[in-house]
Structure 1
Amino acid sequence: MNAEDTRKALTRLYEDGWTQQQVENAAGVNTRTQRLIVNHRQDTVRHTTHAKVLSLIGKHPQGGGKTIAWPSTRRIQSLQAAGHSGRALAAMLEMSPEFISRLSLGRQDTITTVAADRIRELWDNLATKPVAGPPTATAKRLGWATPLDWDNIDNPDEHRPPLGKYIDLDAGHRRAAALILRHFSPEELPDHAPTRRHLTQIADGRADRTTVKFSQFLYLWGERANTRKRHLKERHDAA
């Protein structure tokens, strides 16, 4: 059978805090097979393999309660600022790259305590080591801070960089602003969004700078606008 549903099920298990080794121990699907499936290097699976994976859905490994996600989000962001790619972090954590991406972009409100503990353990191990390389493109664009830039990464009142700090706008910001204006009405945007006027100034190239807070908004909502644009095109093409 096609592996896509199994891939989705494995991704869900990892998001719920399962490690690849725990899945192997509980369901008998070896870690190599799991990696091939989740990394899109195996397109078909046996029905029995799919059934074994599905049997774990809704169950949690020991200690699988939920906790707030933002401390883990900060840790993933800071490690990307220190040169660790999202895919590399996913491999080290035995989590899916898609989950790490959503977590780093603040799209997860809660995660399992198992996942949070694994992220904290990895961060504690890497935080004081030399940076692995230049920041990832996303970390550079959004100005994420490295582990050593934080005084207390678990302090909700500390922000690195400060949300009010100004940064220079680039072509990516302008494209995002234009997409947001085109695909979202004012009523659909959150209260912390830039004003319509400021978005227009950014899109038209009449603004040279904006705050870190607004830069982060442009990146996240620009992606959402691009997704909406793609879905509209798909529906149009199918009509």
Structure 2
Amino acid sequence: MTTTRTPNRQAPPHGTPARYQGPRRHNDWQPCRCTDCRTAVRRAEKIQELRRRRGHNSYISRETVATHLRTLLDNGWTGQMVADAAQINRKTVWNILNADIATVRHDTAQAVLALAPTRRPDGTVPSVGTRRRAHALAAMGWPLSWIAEQAGLSFTGLRDISAGRTKSVKGTYRDAIDALYRTHSMRPGPSQVARRTALRKGWVTAAAWDGAAIDDPSATPETSCDSNLNRNGLAALRRADVEHLDGFGVSVEEIARRLGMAESTVKGIVKELRAGERRNRSKAAA
């Protein structure tokens, strides 16, 4: 009978107390007694003694650390990611979350609390903010295909993000779509089809999100501020699109093709716009 041995975990770097002490349960690496590791242990002991003399608490409530740990996990971190980034044992992460303990050592707690939920060690970030930004752009008439091209990712990739099938994205993609969101989310885009699709799927515009709430998985949009494109708002944007293209001499047929509208509807809007212009000129002449 043969057994499969799990690969050894990566040893903590030299110059840390964890490398000096070695693994607690698994023989993944050997404790190190080099000068850097011994110095790190002595420094940690001196810091702990100094804190004790100054009356500082050497322990922090487990629930405080566990709450932050759960936030990290909710944002796509794994227990091993936390252990590696905080330079602690994977078992310590499990104990903080599940063990019947009341406190966590101060240095361990600080190492965990210093980890930012939105930036993982592998360079990825939660996709929720990127998904909502793409929805807001589409709700204003910017097609997903255009967003993907401008951000430098594939249309299939952005489609999966917008559908919620992708839970994390590269930080570079998140930043690229955020830049588009900042410059275009309050401007009407050229695609009526994108707006109609967004309206049908219940996607909201940027006006529905209050500041950093767009990146908060627990936040909900403020639909009461008319951030959803209602019928009147949709008609106004459609009319503005037609007026813009007609002003550049684009034909009715081409306008209808670009905006995904019926030619008869475009003809009616153009007729109203031109009639309004004539009425304005006649009033100015009078």
TM interval, short-chain normalised: 0.3 to 0.5
Q: Which of structures 1 and 2 has the larger relative contact order (alpha carbons within 8 angstroms, sep 6+)?
A: 1
Bigger CA radius of gyration: 2
TM-score where L is the length of structure 1: 0.38
TM-score where L is the length of structure 2: 0.32
